[in-house]
Amino acid sequence: IYLFITFLIKPTDPLDTTDPTDPTDPPLLLERFSESTYYSKDIMNSFFFIETHNKTDGKLTYKNAFLEWLVGFTDGEGNFNIKLTGLVENTFQNVQFTFQIGLHIDDIETLQYIKDNLLCGHISKSGNRVNYFVNDINSLINVIIPVFTNFSLNSSKFHHFMLFKKAVLSTKNKFHLSNQGKLDILKLKKEMQNMSGRWVPDSIKSIKITKYWLAGFIDAEGTFSTSRYVPRLRLENHVKELELYNKIKEFLALHNIQANVVLTMPRVYNIHSNATIVLEVNKIGHLISYLIPLMEQDKPILKTLKKDFLLWKELVKIYYNGYHTTTEGKRIFDFIKLHMNKYRLSTNSDLFIEKILCVGVTPSFQREIKDLIVKLYLTDSPYIIKEGVRYYRETNKLVSEAVNITAIDLENNISVYQSMSDCAKSLKISRKKIKECVTNGTSYKGYQFVLN
């Protein structure tokens, strides 16, 4: 009955803007045209990921955007596990293979979204946690293995998957039931355990960052937050993912987004602490001109962090226009933050109420937040923007910020600096004089200056 219903009814997605009546407009996620194809043993090596408009050939069609997002999300939150029971020396009685993603109970819709589009697995709740499991062998062989074979993981979980895949595929001819098969599975499981916490260099060449993969990874590992009213996107992970974070930095640079990657050492007072890698994007010009459009263009599917992202965009706008320097702007800014990240979780209601009392926000303020934002934007902003550059209103004074600046000499030689301070230090010209040149369009000592 389940198979028949899922054959007739394709799950809908609020991000899907395709026209189901148009044969030239394929669906956002998947179409399933044949039950027999879904369980075909040859599906992994045939047409599993070929997009087609022909609805008579019985092909299962996935849209790359969803799968790339799923792989990125799995790089952050997913796990591949081998569980053995009846383990005695070099043999065991039973083995269970599981692909699993665990989230906070408030994010159950994300797991339902994944389940609806993969058409396999089940969801279970435990306390304030919710888990998506795929552990039936047909779904693992015909869905999970092909997905992560055709769309490679980029993190250290790539190696876990490759070992997991070998173990799962050994069941196709029941080899796993033989003594040698069991011994092989034991070795694969041990290798997975030994690999935890370390990076395997040979996978660096296989790292491929795409917009949809990055959206999924941000959904799993990212936070849209602020530091002293400065908006930022922040990703933090174990130091073993250093090469991955460098690749993310390179990808962002291709889209004119400058990211900082910082290595932090273990805390000396915590023996369980590990070295971590942090990637942060906090230049306001890059956030508003490049990062936000990148996350919105073609709907890259921000699921778990969608609410945080939408509120964070308001913080970016408030900061960009300088409203955070006003009393009312700060008040609204602080309140928006109370609906993001850990404060939005239902299990942190006590923390939310405590913070509300600290910032002095009243219930009426909570109800009128949208109206207050509109009223705030109707007032003159402290900053005005001229050709992409921020100035204090009614002055020619630039708003101090870290910006790329280009210096062009009389022979049209171009030098690009990461900040005005770097430029001033290199050319031995004061920041004040460089600002005057930028504002007035004049040159000094044979140099013209352009803000990027």
Identity at 111, one-letter amino acid code: L
44-53, 101-110, 148-157, 318-327: least confidently modelled range? 44-53
The alpha carbon of 272 is separated from its chain's Cα centroid by a whole number of angstroms, namely: 26
Same domain? For 326 and 299 the reply is no
Q: Which of 312, 331, 353 is the last residue of a domain?
A: 312
Residue 229 has pLDDT above 50, yes or no: yes
pLDDT at 380: 95
pLDDT(4) > 60? no
Looking at the structure, do residues 288 and 328 belong to the same domain, yes or no?
A: no
What is the rounded CA–CA span in Å between residue 63 and residue 300?
Answer: 12
Whether 303 and 343 share a structural domain = no
Strands (E), 107-229: 122-126, 129-134, 222-227
- Examine the domain organization and report whether 288 and 412 are in the same domain: no
Q: How far, in Å, CA of 146 to CA of 357, rounded?
A: 51
Q: In DSSP terms, which residues pair with 451 in a beta bridge? A: 405
| CA-based radius of gyration for the chain | 26
Residues 385 and 408 in one domain: no
Residue 379 reports pLDDT greater than 70: yes
Work out the average pLDDT over 246-261.
94
Query: Rounded mean pLDDT of 292-309?
Result: 86
Domain identity same for 334 and 270: no
Q: What pLDDT does residue 149 have? A: 94
CB 405 within 8 A of CB 416: yes
CB of 164 closer than 8 Å to CB of 193: no
**What is the C-alpha to C-alpha distance for residues 370 and 332, in angstroms, rounded to an integer?**
10
Region of residue 230 (left: phi > 0; alpha: psi -120 to 50; beta: else) = beta
The continuous run of DSSP H or E covering 434 comes out as helix 431-440
Q: Domains in the chain: how many in total?
A: 4
Segment among 3-17, 182-196, 276-290 with least mean pLDDT? 3-17
Task: Say if residue 70's pLDDT is above 50.
Answer: yes
For the cut 80, the answer to whether the pLDDT of residue 271 exceeds it is no
Domain boundary among the residues 349, 368, 395 is at: 395
Domain stops at, among 182, 203, 224 = 203
Residue 6, pLDDT above cutoff 90: no
- Are 112 and 257 part of one and the same domain? no
pLDDT at 36: 33
pLDDT in tens, 104-159: 999 999 999 999 999 999 999 999 999 999 999 999 999 999 999 999 999 999 99
Are residues 115 and 140 part of one domain? yes
* pLDDT value for 22: 35
Same domain, yes or no: 98 and 152: yes
pLDDT band at 339 (very low <50, low <70, confident <90, very high): confident
The domain of 296 spans 209-312
Among 22-31, 232-241, 324-333, the least confident range: 22-31
Determine the average pLDDT of the residues in 79-85: 92
Please give the pLDDT value at position 59: 39
Contacts 24+ apart (CB under 8 A), 409-414: 409/446, 409/447, 410/446
For the ranges 32-41, 113-122, 356-365, 409-418, the lowest mean pLDDT is seen at 32-41
For the chain, give the percent of residues with pLDDT over 90.
48
Q: What is the DSSP-derived secondary structure letter of residue 41? A: T
* Minimum mean pLDDT range among 44-53, 190-199, 380-389, 427-436: 44-53
**Whole-number mean pLDDT of the chain?**
80
- How confident is the model over 391-404, as pLDDT tens digits? 999 988 888 776 67
56 & 193 share domain:
yes
Indicate whether 16 pLDDT > 60. Answer: no
Residue 251 and residue 355 share a domain: no
CATH number at residue 174: 3.10.28.10
More confident: 365 or 249: 249
Q: Tell which wins on pLDDT, 361 or 409.
A: 409
When mean pLDDT is compared across 27-36, 39-48, 72-81, 266-275, the lowest value belongs to 27-36
Q: What is the CATH number of the domain that holds 409?
A: 1.10.10.10
Statement: residue 340 has pLDDT above 90: no
State the pLDDT at residue 55. 35
pLDDT of residue 213: 96
220 and 264 inside one domain: yes
